[in-house]
Amino acid sequence: MNDTVLTIEIDSAVAVVTMNRPQAMNALSAGLRTALAQAFRDLEADDNVRAIILTGAGTRAFTAGLDLKELGQQGLGAANAQTPEDNPVKAIEQTRKPVIGAINGVAITGGFEVALACDVLIASENARFADTHARVGIMPGWGLSQKLSRLIGPYRARELSLTGNFLDAHTAANWGLVNRVVVADDLLPVARALAADMASIEPRFSTAYKQLIGDGYELPFGEAMALESARSTMMNNQVSASDVEAARGAVQARGRQQ
């Protein structure tokens, strides 16, 4: 892996993946896209890692999206790529572990799509989001046109995508796009604390629950309820009453500490 474009730090059960091209606003070059795909494969295979944080180096940018200089030389193929090596959204989606996006600066166009691939978003006050696909003259191919409207509603999605205007962090939180906004110095500590909480869940249930939420969200409500019932029955039949009783005590103790 090329350490000049990506770094990985693992502490206990939490991995922090940092896109490391600050001089280029962490733009998604071919080298960075390939490194992201390999990093998420490696972390998915590492049983010691239970949660992942994705962020960008510096304070200016989470990622400004595809490297436009590179696209000008190589063409637009990456904008519609379906392999994890070229499509970082697919790279993130190939892991079944929780992924927290720590949005430290701008997330623009393809960078916005990468942010939306994460399971939870924590934003610095410096964070801003923009969909400039229409202004650049290309159509989104990594899911933005469909995900954004489902997250913030079609009216707000059209406002962002048909203007290319920036959305500040606090408005993003008010619109339900990010979970919370913190001062820049607190971004990684807050993300690490949340990741540690997620990492404390037994991996089999963390994986199954993440998949249930994602799969159900793609279905009409009635079908999603049937999906929950089927998977709940399958999983719960494998759990004994003594297991639940043992876990209950730990949950109560944790509640008293919070």
DSSP assignment string, 135-187: HHT----SSHHHHHHHHH-HHHHHHHHTT---EEHHHHHHTTSSSEEE-GGGH
Strand segments, DSSP code E, in the chain are: 6-11, 14-19, 51-56, 61-63, 99-103, 106-108, 120-124, 128-130, 167-168, 180-182
Q: Last residue of a domain, which of 153, 175, 199?
A: 199
Domain that holds residue 226: 203-257
Examine the domain organization and report whether 108 and 73 are in the same domain: yes
Examine the domain organization and report whether 241 and 126 are in the same domain: no
Among 126-130, 155-159, 214-218, 243-247, name the one with the lowest average pLDDT.
243-247
- Whichever domain contains 40, its CATH number is 3.90.226.10
Examine the domain organization and report whether 234 and 172 are in the same domain: no
Examine the domain organization and report whether 171 and 250 are in the same domain: no
pLDDT bracket for residue 258 (50, 70, 90)? low
High-pLDDT (> 90) share of the chain, %: 79
Query: Is 121 among the domain residues?
Result: yes
Provide the pLDDT for residue 1: 42
Provide the pLDDT for residue 255: 64
Query: Is 1 among the domain residues?
Result: no
Stretch (H or E) spanning 221: helix 221-236
Radius of gyration of the CA atoms of the chain, in A: 19
Q: Write out pLDDT tens, residues 3-26.
A: 589 999 999 999 999 999 999 999
Q: Last residue of a domain, which of 151, 168, 199?
A: 199
What is the average pLDDT score of the chain? 92
Q: 47 pLDDT exceeds 60?
A: yes
Q: Write out pLDDT tens, residues 190-221.
A: 999 999 999 999 999 999 999 999 999 999 99
Q: Which residues contact 60 (CB under 8 A, 6 or more apart)?
A: 22, 25, 105, 106, 126
Q: Write out pLDDT tens, residues 114-129.
A: 999 999 999 999 999 9
Q: Last residue of a domain, which of 199, 227, 248?
A: 199
State the pTM of this model.
Answer: 0.91
Into how many domains does the chain fold? 2
Give Cα 125 distance to the centre of its chain: 18
